[in-house]
Structure 1
C-alpha cells in the first residue's frame, strides 16, 4: 500500500508541476500549496499556515512577500487582535488555483479514460479515507470553499507595506 501511494504521489506532484508550468505562473509548488490551503480553508493565521506547510514562520513571511507582490495573497489583521497576521487569497489567487485545479481534473480524467480505469465502491471508500487521513477536504467541499475564499473579511484591517529588512511587515 505504501509503495503504491508513493508512486501515486509522485504522479500527482508531476501532474501539478506540469499544470503550473503550462500556465507560466512563476509560482513554485510550495507557493501553490499555500494558495491551495487558503482556497480550501479560507483566511487563516499565518502561524497556522506555516505549521501546515512545515516551514518556519520566517520562511512563510518571505514566501508571502513574493505571493503578495504577485497580488495572489493579502495580509491583514483582524480586530481586535492586531498581533496576529492573517492571510487570504485575492481574487487573482483564487482564480489561479481554480484554473490549475480544473486543468488537473481534465488531465486526470484523460488519464483515467485512456487507461480504461473504473473504481469499485470499496476502492473509492479507501481513497476517501486516505484523503481524510491527510487532512484534506472532499473535492465537492473544497470547491464550495473555493467559491468564497477570496470574499472580503468583515473585520479585516489591511497591513501597511513597510519595508523592514527585506520583508513587508
Structure 2
C-alpha cells in the first residue's frame, strides 16, 4: 500500500513526503485537528509536526487556525488544494488496486468484502464510503466560518 501511494505521489510530482501525505490523509478523514492531537496520532514529536506543517502550509496544502476564542490551541485543516491532492492520490491508488485484483483473478465475494471492511475498521480506518464523505467536507470552513489563518512571527510566536 505504501508503494502504491509513493508511486502515485511521484507520478503527480506533488513534492510531498509519505509522512506529510499521512498527515493530509488524517486531516481528510478526521477533519480539523489540534496540532497536539495530530502529533500523537502520527506518533511524532510536536516539534516534528510543526516543521512538517510549516512545509505543508508553504505548499498551501494545510492551514493553521484558532478555533473560537481559544488562542492557545493551534488547529490544522486541509485547504482545498490539500483535499484535492489527497483525493487524486487515493483515486489513483484505488485504480491500481482494482488493476491488481483483476490481474490476480481474485473474486470479490460478499463475505470477502465484509471481511475487508471488518479489517479496515479493526485497524482504525474508515470504510470507503464514509472516508469519501469526510474527504468531501474536509476543506470546508470550520463551524460555518472561514478559517482564520495563523502564522509564525519573526520572534517564533504564533499569531
Give the TM-score of the pair, scaled to structure 2: 0.92
Corresponding residue to 2:149 among 158, 161, 164: 158
Question: Quick one: which of 134, 137, 150 aligns to 2:126?
Answer: 137
Match of 1:124 among 90, 99, 113: 113
Determine the C-alpha separation between the residues in 2 that align with 1:16 and 1:142: 16
Runs of 4+ that moved beyond 6 A: none
Give, in angstroms, the shift of residue 136 of structure 1. Answer: 0.6
Match in the other structure for 2:96? 107
The answer for unaligned runs of 5 or more in structure 1 is 1-11
Deviations 1:66-113 (A, max 9, x none): 000000000000112111110000000000001101111111111111
Structure 2 residue runs without a partner (length 5+): none
Out of 39, 50, 70, which is 1:50 matched to? 39
Taking the aligned partners of 1:136 and 1:143, their CA distance within structure 2 comes to 12
Q: Structure 2 vs 1, CA of residues 127 and 65 (structure 1 numbering), >3 Å: closer, same or farther?
A: same
**Alignment RMSD:** 1.7
Deviation at 1:168? Answer: 6.7
How many residues align? The count is: 157
Instruction: State the alpha-carbon separation in 1 of the partners of residues 91 and 155 from structure 2.
Output: 38
Distance of 1:45 and 1:13 partners within structure 2 = 26
